[in-house]
């Protein structure tokens, strides 16, 4: 296969990159491109155009190479060869030019884009910084403040935005991209090397303002990337490139970047797992039943993704409001109208009878091709679909709040679900921009099961002596955006309470159970929406305050225990909370409800904001020294010997299924 081809017509060399499916930059393509450039240097060409033979100019680098020493030629060497040519080189950009692809384009003397093309530097999202001139050349092209914004935001610029910023020289119709790029290359008449260009003037105040826009929770690599832009502007171009590459090489092998690559490939593996030999069916229209919080978010998500979306609700005024607020959404007047959609998804009340009645009515009106999906969080999908005549078209599609912004979706096929339905739902999830994992049909599926164990454990920590605010502080200190009690108040305590009441009859009476959350709910304290939960929210405040009523309920619960309350430190909070997650995760993988360790790490980082730089709960705990692991699981055992009795107290190995998921997360 020819990754790079070169032809010379009328003294213009046209270099075509052809590494399908996305023109990913790897060692083979870099080598082929460098060879083509060497060939051009010995030719009679008076100009060069670098273009794509596929749908993307150069969508980025093969990040799997970053886990090992990079082979020569590395990208800076290729770009240096572009700049060393004595003739002008123009990039003809179609599709995506991201990361290394954008840096290659910046190394050219000009850039012509088609209207749908996009450029950007996404490196900070993977834990490192641009390393092939991204900070150096953008600082010289658009100025330090805007270069800082571009590099630290990882934002993709459209062709029009790139033109307005001065990054693109021309935006031309797609069908004329190559011919216009050739004409532009001929017109340049000489080199325009950004590496050596002067930096546009900017005051310290303007630069500081750009840095101040960086999110306050940004990881250190983002701040270092911003500083590299500032430093790149102060150094001569060649020295700046050396400094930038040194930072890139340092950050790409650091733990954060390694963990983020693990999650990147974990998402890719999970998506591939949902693909099959079956071909997805085209979905054009989506019907959403329910216009409450979840239903409204689903309507927004599907309409934004370009689906013709209909919504229905028992309260027509709710459906109308959602439709009025959402471009591309309409109100359905009957279930028959909803059933005529290609995909129907429920967001009706989380009750088995309600959901069964809904799907029975939809099933009677639906065609053989209609896909029926339930967004249930906890209910048995097999039972829910037991009366359907189109049972083979039924599947679970569990979204997480807020469904239009939360990136996680669990896809739950049943044993009778057609393969084309699974493939179709996977395709829909991709179009929605979601990270999808496969889950088995079990109570809480995957992510909620792990989070429920985490939530139960932090409640035991409070009963043992930790204040809710201290638990929240320990876990936000670890990296969570919000602590579990603040999250519970925001989500509503009544949701988990309903699940606990459903499970009450099957609960092991010998296992430890904290009644604190139940008593808060019995007192009508459901969180922010009721003005009080674990915290109080006076006058509609969004930030909770310590509440004497909660403290009294906690004190009463502690008094009922045989063990006295004690001081609980932040290290114990983190250790027990994460060990509980691992305990649940290992059980899910062992039982087959989850496919692999990385699926769970993806689910928790995408769906529940587990700090991504740690790689997920399994990945992070697996990085601990053996003694720390042993101590954490011993503390978990102490919290409830009946539930966690599989752990030994004598320092021996962890149970095999626990060890397996930890090892799998480190080796992935």
Catalytic residues: 103, 123
The span from the CA of 373 to the CA of 288, in Å, is 10
The span from the CA of 206 to the CA of 145, in Å, is 6
What string of H, E and C letters represents the secondary structure of 574-621? HHHHHHHHHHHHHHHHHHCCECCHHHHHHHHHHHCCCCHHHCCHHHHH
| Residue with tokens 């700090």, as numbered in its chain | 611
Which distant-in-sequence residues (6+ apart) come within 8 Å of 507 by Cβ? Answer: 513
The span from the CA of 368 to the CA of 6, in Å, is 51
For 72, phi and psi rounded to 5 degrees? -75, 145
CA dihedral sign of residues 301, 602, 468, 378 = positive
Structure tokens at 644: 């966690």
The residue count of the chain comes to: 668
Residue 105 neighbours by CB distance under 10 Å: 29
Which distant-in-sequence residues (6+ apart) come within 8 Å of 164 by Cβ? Answer: none
Q: Which of 385, 436, 451, 375 is nearest to 609 (CA)?
A: 451
Q: Which of 494, 489, 484, 498 is nearest to 450 (CA)?
A: 484
Upstream peptide bond of 200 is cis (omega within 30 degrees of 0): no
Q: Which of 30, 41, 55, 32 is nearest to 8 (CA)?
A: 41
The span from the CA of 402 to the CA of 101, in Å, is 34
- Name the CA radius of gyration of the chain, rounded: 28
Structure tokens at 41: 């240097």
Helix (H, G, I), strand (E, B) or coil at 47: strand
Burial per residue of 34-64, b for 16 or more beta-carbon CB atoms within 10 angstroms, e otherwise: bebbeebeeeebbbbbbbbebebbbbbbebe
Upstream peptide bond of 174 is cis (omega within 30 degrees of 0): no
Residue 335 neighbours by CB distance under 10 Å: 18
**Calculated CA dihedral for residues 184, 186, 188, 189, nearest 10 degrees:** 180
- For 327-384, strand residue ranges (E) read 329-331, 343-346, 371-374
The span from the CA of 509 to the CA of 498, in Å, is 19
Helix (H, G, I), strand (E, B) or coil at 14: strand
Helix (H, G, I), strand (E, B) or coil at 16: strand
């Amino acid at each position: 296969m020819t990754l790079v081809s070169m032809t010379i017509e009328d003294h213009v060399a046209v270099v075509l990159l052809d590494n399908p499916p996305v023109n990913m930059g790897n060692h083979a393509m870099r080598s082929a491109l460098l060879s083509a450039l060497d060939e051009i240097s010995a030719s009679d060409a008076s100009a060069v155009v670098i273009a794509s033979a596929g749908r993307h100019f150069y969508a980025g680098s093969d990040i799997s190479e970053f886990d090992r020493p990079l082979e020569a030629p590395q990208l800076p060497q290729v770009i240096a060869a572009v700049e060393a040519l004595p003739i002008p080189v123009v990039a003809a950009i179609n599709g995506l030019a991201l990361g290394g692809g954008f840096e290659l384009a910046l190394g050219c003397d000009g850039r012509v884009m088609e209207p749908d093309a996009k450029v950007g530097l996404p490196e900070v999202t993977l834990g490192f910084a641009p390393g092939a001139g991204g900070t150096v050349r953008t600082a010289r092209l658009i100025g330090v403040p805007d270069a800082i914004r571009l590099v630290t935001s990882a934002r993709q610029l459209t062709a029009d935005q790139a033109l307005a910023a001065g990054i693109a020289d021309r935006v031309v119709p797609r069908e004329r991209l190559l011919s216009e790029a050739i004409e532009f290359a001929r017109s340049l008449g000489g080199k325009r090397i950004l590496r050596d260009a002067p930096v546009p003037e900017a005051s310290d105040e303007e630069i500081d303002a750009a840095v101040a826009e960086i999110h306050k929770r940004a990881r250190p690599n983002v701040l270092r990337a911003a500083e590299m832009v500032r430093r790149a502007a102060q150094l001569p171009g060649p020295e700046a490139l050396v400094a930038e590459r040194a930072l890139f090489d340092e950050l790409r092998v650091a733990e954060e970047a390694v963990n983020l690559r693990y999650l990147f490939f974990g998402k890719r593996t999970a998506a591939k797992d949902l693909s099959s030999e079956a071909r997805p069916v085209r979905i054009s229209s989506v019907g959403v039943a329910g216009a409450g919080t979840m239903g409204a978010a689903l309507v927004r998500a599907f309409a934004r993704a370009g689906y013709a979306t209909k919504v229905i609700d028992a309260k027509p005024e709710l459906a109308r409001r959602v439709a009025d607020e959402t471009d591309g959404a309409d109100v359905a007047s009957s279930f028959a109208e909803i059933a005529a959609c290609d995909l129907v998804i429920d967001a009706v009340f989380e009750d088995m009878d309600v959901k069964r009645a809904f799907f029975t009515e939809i099933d009677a009106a639906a065609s053989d091709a209609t896909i029926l999906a339930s967004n249930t969080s906890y209910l048995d999908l097999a039972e829910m679909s037991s009366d359907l005549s189109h049972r083979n078209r039924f599947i679970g599609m569990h979204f997480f709040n807020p469904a239009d912004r939360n990136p996680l979706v669990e896809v739950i096929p049943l044993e009778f679900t057609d393969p084309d339905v699974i493939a179709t739902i996977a395709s829909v999830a991709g179009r929605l921009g979601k990270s999808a994992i496969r889950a088995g049909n079990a109570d809480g599926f995957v992510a909620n099961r792990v989070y429920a164990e985490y939530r139960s454990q932090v409640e035991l920590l409070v009963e043992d002596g930790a204040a809710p605010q201290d638990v929240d502080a320990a876990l936000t200190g670890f990296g969570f955006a919000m602590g579990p009690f603040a999250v519970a108040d925001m989500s509503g305590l009544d949701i988990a309470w309903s699940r606990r009441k459903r499970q009450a009859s099957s609960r092991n009476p010998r296992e430890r159970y904290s009644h604190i959350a139940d008593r808060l709910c019995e007192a009508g304290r459901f969180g922010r929406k009721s003005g009080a939960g674990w915290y109080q929210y006076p006058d509609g405040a969004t930030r909770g305050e310590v509440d004497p009523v909660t403290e009294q309920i906690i004190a009463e619960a502690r008094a009922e225990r045989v063990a006295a309350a004690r001081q609980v430190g932040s290290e114990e909070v983190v250790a027990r909370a994460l060990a509980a997650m691992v305990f649940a995760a290992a059980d899910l993988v062992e039982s087959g409800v989850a496919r692999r360790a990385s699926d769970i790490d993806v689910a928790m980082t995408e769906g529940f904001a587990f700090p991504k730089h740690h790689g997920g709960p399994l990945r992070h705990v697996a990085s601990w020294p053996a003694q720390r692991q042993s101590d954490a699981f011993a503390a978990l055992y102490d919290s409830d010997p009946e539930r966690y009795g599989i752990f030994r107290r004598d320092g021996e190995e962890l149970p095999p299924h626990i060890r397996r998921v930890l090892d799998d997360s480190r080796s992935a």
